[in-house]
Structure 1
Amino acid sequence: MPVAFKDSLDGILIKAGQYMEYDGLETIRKAYEFTLESNRRFDFLRMSGEPAIVHPLAVAAQLVEWRMDSETVAAGILHDTIEDPNIHKLQLRAIFGDTVAQLVEGVSKLKKYELPETFSEDDAYYMRIFMAVAKDIRVALIKMADRLHNMSTLHALPAYKQIKNCVETQMIFILMAERLGMREAMEEMRETAFMYLEPDEFEDAGLMMEKLAPEENAVFEAAETELRASLDDIGLEYSLERVPHTPYFIGRLASDPAKPQSLLKTGHLEIVTTETPDAYRALGVVHKIFSPFSRDSELRGVVHGFIDTMHHPSGDLKRSIETIVVGPGGAAISINILTEEMRLTNSRGVVSLLAAGSSLRDPGFLEERVKDLQRMIGEQSGLAEGEDAEKQIDRYLRLFREKKNFVFASDGSALVLPESATVLDYAYKMSVATGNAFKSAIINKKEVGMCHVPGRFEHLEIITNEAATPRVEWLECVSTDYAKNEIMKRLTALPRADAVKEGRRALLQKSYEAGLCPSNRIEDLEQMLSMVADDFEIREIDDIYLNIVRGEINLQFVLEVVRTLYKRIIRLEDFEKAPRIIGHPAYDGEADPAAFIFDKPLRSSLYLDEICSPLPGDEIAVYGGLKKAVVHRKDCRNRRSRPIFLGRKTPALWGDTSGSKFPARFKIKFFPAKDIQRQILNIIEKSGGEIMYPNDVNTSGRHLQLMEVVALVYNAAHAANICEELLNLQEIAVAERV
C-alpha cells in the first residue's frame, strides 16, 4: 500500500475510532483494500491528475466527518467498484454483506445491458437513487459525500462537463440536500454551481462583499457590543457570533425586492443558547435594545416582529427565531436566535439524526421527515408506473422541490403538506373519510371554498356531511397525488350508469360556467359534443361522460375542445357591430389631406368616418360638400344605407401614410376570466396599437362579454395582425375590426 494513501486511510480510521468499534474499522480497511486491488486504482488517474483512489477516500472522510456507521463508510469507499465490468454485486454481497451491497448498488450507475429501453443512462441513474433512498436514506448521504468531492474538483474538467455537473447538481442534489435539511452541504454545492454557471454574477457578488465589508463591520461591532452587555446583564448563557454570507446569498439578496435596501448584506448575527426558553429571553433583549421593523417602515411586506420556526421547522428543516431590527445608524440587521442542538440540526439535518452516538433531545421532526419522504417516494413509484422517464423524474423531483406548509387542525395537531395544498388536500390528510365527506372549511373562523390555499400556521376546521361524495371537479381543487388518488378511487368505483350521470352533470356545469352552454340544457351541450366526438375516438357521447369520471379523459381537455368549436361557430351579430361609443374623441380631429390622393384639389375640411373607420389598405371614397368631406370605406354600411345624405362623391386613394396612425374600432367577444380585459389591452399595445379610451364592456346574449376598443394603428394589415394576436388567447371567441 503506497505510504501516502496509507496515511490518508489511517487518518480516517483514527477519526472513525473515536466512535466506532474495531469490527467496523476492519470493514472500512477491507473495503479500501478491495477497491484498491480490484480496480487497480493506484494506476488510474482522475482528470485532476490525482490517483483515482483519492476520490473514494475523500468520500469516506466526509462520511466519517458526519459520524456515519461502518457500513455506510465502507459503501462510500466501494461506491464506484460495481461500475467495473469485472466486479459483480454478488461479490460485494458475499464479502461485505447485504446492507453494504445494497447501499453501493443504490448509488451506482446501471450497466448498459441493465438499462430500461425507454431510459437514458442518466435517467436510470436518477431513478435508482430515488428508489434506493425510499429503502435506505443513507444512500442519499453517500451520494451527497460523492457529489461534494466531485464539485470540489470541477476545475480539472472540460467546460462542458463543468456545466453538465453543475446543472445536474442544481436539479437533483441541491434540492435533495435542502429537503433533508443538509444546509452545510447544500450551500457548498450551491456556491460552486453559482461560480461556474454565473461567473459574472459570482464576481460581482464578491466585489460587493469587499466594498460593503468595512462599513458593515463597524455596524456589526457596535451591535455586538450592545447585545453582549444586555445579555450579560440578565445572566444568560449564550454565544454570539457574526455569520458571513456567501456570494450566492449576497447576489440573491441584492436582487430581492422584498428585502430592505438598508439590510446588512455581508452577514447576520446569531445568538446560540443552551435551552429553548433562553432563546425567547434573548429575543426579548434584542427587541428591547433594537426596534423591529414594521409593515409601515421601509420593509413593506416583511413580517412585523419575528418569524418563529422553533417548534414547527421550515421546509428545509430549519428551526430558529428570525428577526430583522433597526441597528446602529438605522441599518437593518438580521438576527437568528437558536439553541446549540438547533444549530447542529440546521447545519446537517438528517445527518445529525443518523450520526453514531446521536443524542438529540428532539429528533421527532427529523424522523418524521425521513419517513414522510420515503413514504411519498413509494407512493409516487406506484403512480408513475407506465410514464416516460422525463415525467417520472419530474414527479420525484417535485417531492424535493416543493416547500412545506404547516396548518393547525381543530384538535391542535399540526398538518404538513406542500405550500400548494388546498383545504381539500388537508381534509384528505386528516383521513380519507374526512376528505370524502368534505362540505366546507373554516380558516381562522372564516368560511372558505375547497380550493382555498391556507397560509402558514393558520387554523383549519373541516366541516363534513355524511351524504357528501367526491365529485369530478374536486380533482381541480387538489394538488397532492394522494388526494387525487383517493378521489379517483371513489369515482372509478361508481357503477356505469352513475358514472355517466356524474360525468354529464360535471361537464354541463363547467360548460355553463365557462359560457359554452348558456342555455344550461344538456341537449345543446350534446349537440356540440356530437360535432367533436371524433376528436375523442368515441362513438357514444355517454362514453365521453364515463371516461371523464374514469380519468381517461381530462375534463378541462373536453372543455377546451368544445371551446375551440364554439370559437369557430360564434360570430358578431349585426346589432353588435354598431358602435357603442358615438362621438368618440379619436374621430373629432381633421384628417391630414396629405395622406390622400385626389383627382382634383379638395377645399373642404376632411374627416374619417366614425362608423367604418377607414385605414390605409382599405378601398375608400370621399363624400361631402363645400365645408365638410368624410372618408368612407367602400364597404361602409353607413354609406350604403344613407347615400342621399352623404353628399357629392370624390374619388380618392391613400397617399404616403408611413409613420402615421389612424383610429380603428375593434369588437372583442370573450369568455369571462380573471384579468382578461387587461390582457386584451396589453396585446393591442404590444402589437403597436395606442389605446384610445374610453372602452366599453357589456354582456353578450351568449354569456360572453363584448368589449369595444378604439385604438390608433398604422393600417388595415396592422389591425388584422392585432385581431390574430387576440384570437391566440383561448378566452377570446371573436376579435374583429368593425
Structure 2
Amino acid sequence: MIDVEDLIALVRNYNPRCNADLIRRAYAYGMKMHDGQMRKSGEPYFTHPVAVAAILTEMQLDDATIVTALLHDTIEDTRSTYTEVSQLFSPEIAELVDGVTKLTNLQLSSAQSQQAENFRKLFMAMSKDLRVILVKLADRLHNMRTIKSMKPEKQVQKARETMEIFAPLAGRMGMQWMREELEDLAFRVLNPEARNSIIRRFLTLQREAGDVVHRITADIRTELDREGIEAAVYGRAKKPHSIWRKMQEKDLAFSRLSDIYGFRIICRSVADCYRILGVIHGRWRAVPGRFKDYISQPKSNGYRSIHTTVSGRDGKRVEVQIRTGEMHEVAESGVAAHWSYREGVRGRNPFAVDPAKWIASLTERLDEGDHDEFLENVKLEMYSDQVFCFTPKGDVIQLPRGATPLDFAYAIHTRIGNSTVSAKVDGIRVPLWTRLKNGQSVEIITAEGQRPQASWIDIVTTGRAKAAIRRSLREEDRGRFVKLGQELARAAFDHVGKKATDKALRTAAKMLGCADDQDLLARLGSAEITARKVVEILYPELSIGRPDEVDDKRPVIGLQDDHLFRRAPCCQPLPGERIVGITYRGKGVVAHAIDCPALAEFESNTDRWVDLKWKAGRHAPVNTVSLELTISNDAGVLGRICTLVGEQKANISDLRFTDRKPDFYRLIIDVDLRDVEHLHMVMTALEADTDVAQIGRYRDMTRKP
C-alpha cells in the first residue's frame, strides 16, 4: 500500500502548493475508519481508497478530489457520517463523498425500469459535481484491476456493467485511456479465449514482421526532421478489445485487419499540426474516407486532434493522430482537465471544456419524460452505434450511427421523407447530409411537389430510406427513360434504313419478353437493353458485315492457351492504350498500363513480363474505369451528370462521394467503357458541363491484382 508521504509526493509532482496537512488528516481518518476491514483478496480494505487516490493523481486533480477518493467508502462502510466528514474536512468534500456513496449504491445492472431510475440518479449526481463520477470511475478501474479475487459470477456481472456503462461513460468524458483499460479488463473476464487469441496473433505477427511500430515511428521522425518540424512521435498496437470490436463490426478475420497500429504526433502549435498533416500525406498515401479534423470541429467534450489513416510500410494501414501539447492534455484527461493542476496552479487549458455546459447537454431532459424514455435517450447517449433523436412533439426516433435528417424523415413516414426539402436540428437549419447526434431535436420541413433526388441515395444510411428513394426514382425516371429510349431506338433504326414504328417496337417487346412497347423503351433508356439488340432481333440479316466483336474474356493478343486474363485494378487499362502483362501465380496474366507505377516492382523479374496488345475490333463496354469529379453542390447537377454518361452509351456501375462541402461535391464514378476513345467521349461530355469544375482519371495504387 502507498504510504501517505508517497501519495503526497505524487500530488506535489503537479501541485507543489497542495494542502499536505489535509491529505495527511484524510489518510489517517480513512485508515482509522476502515481498520479491521479486509478486501476479498485478503488485503487491508484501506489499500483500495489509497489506490483510487493514486489513480486520480495521474489526472492531476485537485486536493478535494484526492481527499474524496481516500474517504469515498467511509460514509457507506464505516461508522463515519456526513456531518462528521463535513466538520473535519469541509462541506465540499462531504458533498463529494456523499455523491460517490449514492452512486455506489445504485444497481446499474438491475431490471429495466429500476435501471432507468438509477441512471436518472447517476446523471443527477453528475450534474451537481462531475468530480463525483471521476472518483467513481477511478474506483471502478481499481476494482477491475483486482477483480480476480471475486467469485466468477460476480466477476461477470461487474465486467458486463463496466463494458456497458462505465467504459462508454469514460469515453464520452474524453478519458480514452481509461475507457480502453476498462474495456480490456472487462474483455478479459467476458471473453478470455478471444482476448488470448488476439494476443497470440500479435506475438506471431511481431515475430514475422519485426517491430513495425519502431520502424514506422522512425520513418515519421525522419520526415519531420527533414522539414524542420519539432514534434514527439509515439506509436503502439491497438488494444485487444478494440481489435475484437473492429473484427465484429466489419466481419473480418484478424489476418484481414489492416489498421491495427496507431501513431500520435504531438507538436507545438496548430499551424504545425497542419504542416505535419501535409508531410504525412506527402510521404504516404491517404486512405479515402478516413480523415477527420477535430481541431476545426472539436468534440463536445473538448477533444481536438487531426485523425488520418495512411498506407504505411508494406501496405499496412496505420492511423495517425496529430495534436498540440495542450490538446493532448485534454485528450488524455477529457472533462477532468478542467480541474487539473500544474505547478500549483489550476489548469487554464484553453481546450478544456466547461463541465457545467457538458453535463447540461446530457441532463437537460431529466425533468420530463418517463423512465424508459430517459434510459433510451440518456444511457444510450454514451454508445456510438445508435443515435436517439426527438421529433418536435417529443417522440423518440432510433437511428443507426451516421444517420442524417433524411433518415429521420423516412423513419417517421415514407411520404414525409419523399417530400423533404430541408431540416432543422435544435432549431437551426442544417444541410440534409448532416450527421445526427444523440439527444438532438429534428424538425423536417416538407413541400408539396418535392420528389427524391438521385444524390439522396448517398446521403442516407438506413435500408428503409434507400429502398424508398430508389422506388420513387424508378417511378419518376420511367418517363425520362421512355423518352431517351425513343431517341435511341429512332437512331438505331435509322442507321439500318428502317423506321421505329409502334408495331415494330411491340413486336420486339414481345420477342424480348417485355410487357409492352413502353416497357421496352424504358429498358432501352435505362441501358438494360441495347438498341442494337432490338434491331438485330427484328432484322437478323442486317447484322452481317458489322465489325467483329472481341471476346471480352480474351481481348488481347499474346496470351497462352492456359492463361487467364484480367485488367489491373490499380491502373485500369483500356483497349487502345499500350499495355504489358505480368504473370501472377494462380491469377494468370494481369494487364497493366505501360506507365503504371506498379510495374516498378517487377523491373528485376523480367521473366514475369508478357508482351500483350489489344485485339482489333469492337470491344464490349465491360471495362470499368474510375473518374474523379468535382461538381457544384446544386439541385439536379448529379442527375444531369448521370444523364450525360448515359447519353454516351456508358453505364455507371458505382458512385461514391469522397467529400461534401456547402458549395461542391467531390466524387468517384465507376464507368463501364469500350475503349480509350469511349473514355475520351465521356470525359469530353462531362468536361463541357458548366457545373463540372474538374474531372480526371482516378487511379488507386493501393488496389493490388
Q: How does 1:257-656 map to 2 (within 5 A)?
A: 257=250, 264-294=258-288, 302-303=289-290, 306-314=291-299, 318-356=303-341, 357-359=345-347, 361-363=349-351, 366-367=353-354, 370-384=355-369, 387-388=370-371, 392-401=374-383, 448-449=420-421, 460=431, 483=441
Alpha carbons 2:156, 2:190 under 8 Å: kept: yes
User: How far apart, CA to CA, are the structure 2 residues paired with 1:377 and 1:43?
Assistant: 41
In structure 2, do the counterparts of structure 1 residues 188 and 113 end up closer, same or farther at CA, with 3 Å as the change threshold?
closer
Which AA in structure 1 matches 2:91?
A: D
1:639 corresponding residue in structure 2: none
Q: Which residue of 2 aligns with 1:34?
A: 29
Counterpart in the other structure of 2:246: 253
Equivalent of residue 107 in structure 1, options 100, 104, 113: 100
Cα 1:11–1:127 change in 2 (3 A) is: farther
> 1:307 Cα deviation (Å)?
2.3
**In structure 1, C-alpha distance between the alignment counterparts of 2:313 and 2:245, rounded to whole Å:** 24
Question: Which residue among 194, 197, 217 is the counterpart of 1:204?
Answer: 197
C-alpha contact (below 8 Å) 1:273/1:338 kept by paired residues:
yes
Is the Cα contact below 8 Å between 1:250 and 1:265 reproduced in 2? no
Deviation at 1:16, TM superposition (A): 1.8
State the Cα distance separating 1:133 from its structure 2 match. Answer: 0.7
**Deviation at 1:401?**
2.8
Residues 129, 139 of structure 1: 8 Å contact kept: no
Contact 1:425 1:480 in 2 (8 A): no
Deviation track 1:239-264 (CA, whole Å, cap 9, x = no partner) reads: 22322211112223344439897654
Superposed displacement of residue 459, structure 1: 6.0
Aligned equivalent of 1:229:
222
Identity of aligned residues (%): 28
Name whichever of 158-167 and 8-17 sits farther off.
Answer: 8-17
Deviation at residue 266 of structure 1 after TM alignment: 4.6
Distance 1:60-1:481 versus aligned 2 partners, 3 A rule: closer
In 2, distance between residues paired with 1:174 and 1:35?
A: 28
- What's the offset of the Cα at 1:164? 1.0
- Cα distance change, pair 450–362 in 1 and its aligned pair in 2 (3 A): same
Instruction: Tell me whether 1:181 sits opposite 2:174 in the alignment.
Output: yes
List per-residue Cα deviations over 1:511-564 (Å, max 9, x = no partner): xx9xxxxxxxxxxxxxxxxxxxxxxxxxxxxxxxxxxxxxxxxxxxxxxxxxxx
3-state SS, counterpart of residue 136 of structure 2: helix
d(CA) in 1 for partners of 2:18, 2:437: 49
* Alpha-carbon distance in 2 for matches of 1:269, 1:106: 38
Corresponding residue for 1:14? 9
Give, in whole Å, the separation in 2 of the partners of 1:192 and 1:146: 14
Alignment RMSD (CA, Å): 4.3
Moved more, 62-71 or 390-399: 390-399
Match of 1:96 among 67, 89, 99: 89
- Give the letter for the 2:8 counterpart: L
Secondary structure of residue in 1 paired with 2:60:
coil
Look up the equivalent residue of 2:261 and give its one-letter code: G
The answer as to whether partners of 2:247 and 2:257 remain within 8 angstroms in 1 is no
Change (3 A) 1:339 1:19: closer
Please give the per-residue CA displacement for 1:453-475, whole angstroms capped at 9, x wherever unaligned.
Answer: 99xx996499xxxxxxxxxxxxx
CA gap 1:195/1:237 in 2 versus in 1, 3 angstroms: same
Instruction: Compute the TM-score of the two structures, normalised by the length of structure 1.
Output: 0.50
Separation (CA, whole Å) in 1 of partners of 2:104 and 2:134: 22
Answer whether contact 1:376 1:399 (CA < 8 A) is retained.
no
Give the drift of 1:321.
2.1
Query: Could you say if the C-alpha distance between residues 204 and 22 of structure 1 is closer, same or farther in structure 2, counting changes exceeding 3 Å?
Result: same
1:290/1:396 CA distance change after superposition, 3 Å: closer
Q: How many Å separate the matches in 1 of 2:103 and 2:190?
A: 28
Do 1:269 and 1:336's aligned partners in 2 also have CA atoms closer than 8 Å?
yes
Partner of 1:214: 207
Aligned-residue offset at 1:24: 2.3
Q: How many Å separate the matches in 2 of 1:119 and 1:81?
A: 30
State the secondary structure of the residue aligned to 1:319: coil
Change (3 A) 1:121 1:398: closer
> 3-state DSSP class of the match of 1:383?
coil
Alignment of 1:6-155 (within 5 A): 8-20=3-15, 24-37=19-32, 39=33, 41-84=34-77, 86-109=79-102, 126-155=119-148
In structure 2, the gaps of 5 or more residues are 388-398, 409-415, 445-467, 469-512, 514-705
Q: Distance in 2 between matches of 1:20 and 1:205?
A: 40
Residue identity in the other structure for 2:269: E
Residue aligned with 2:229, SS? coil
Change (3 A) 1:452 1:404: farther
* Code of the aligned partner of 2:315: G
In structure 1, what is the Cα distance between the partners aligned to 2:275 and 2:105?
60
Q: Matches of 1:286 and 1:60 in 2, distance apart? A: 40
| Structure 1 residues 241 and 214: alpha-carbon distance in aligned structure 2, compared to 1, 3 A threshold | farther
Q: CA offsets per residue over residues 477-506 of structure 1, 9 Å max, x none?
A: x9976748x99xxxxxxxxxxxxxxxxxxx
Q: Does structure 2 conserve the Cα–Cα contact (< 8 Å) formed by 1:273 and 1:279? A: yes
Q: 1:254 to 1:395 in 2, by over 3 A?
A: closer
Q: Cα gap change, 1:23/1:200 in structure 2, threshold over 3 Å: closer, same or farther?
A: closer
* Structure 2 CA distance for partners of 1:250 and 1:217, relative to 1, 3 Å: farther
- Relative to structure 1, is the Cα distance of residues 52 and 95 closer, same or farther in structure 2, using a 3 angstrom cutoff? same
| SS of residue paired to 2:35 | helix
Return the alpha-carbon distance in structure 2 between the equivalents of residues 173 and 423 of structure 1. 30
Q: TM-score with structure 2 length normalisation?
A: 0.52
Taking the aligned partners of 2:107 and 2:193, their CA distance within structure 1 comes to 42
What SS is found at the alignment partner of 1:347? helix
Return closer, same or farther for 1:82/1:231 CA change in 2, 3 Å cut-off: same
**One-letter amino acid of the structure 2 residue matched with residue 281 of structure 1:** R
Structure 1 counterpart SS, 2:140: helix
Counterpart Cα distance in 2 of 1:155 and 1:35: 25
Cα separation, 2, equivalents of 1:323 and 1:480: 25
CA deviation profile, 1:36-65 (whole Å, cap 9, x unmatched): 22x3x2311100111001011111111222
What amino acid is aligned across from residue 382 of structure 2 in structure 1?
F
Paired position in structure 1 for 2:184: 191
1:96-116 Cα distance to aligned partner (Å, 9 max, x none): 22211111111114899999x
Q: CA deviation at 1:355?
A: 0.4
Give the superposition deviation at 1:35: 2.0
Distance 1:243 1:458, change over 3 A: farther
CA contact (8 A) 1:32 1:77 kept: yes
Q: CA deviation at 1:82?
A: 1.1
Unaligned runs of 5+ in 1: 295-301, 406-416, 427-439, 463-477, 488-512, 514-583, 585-738
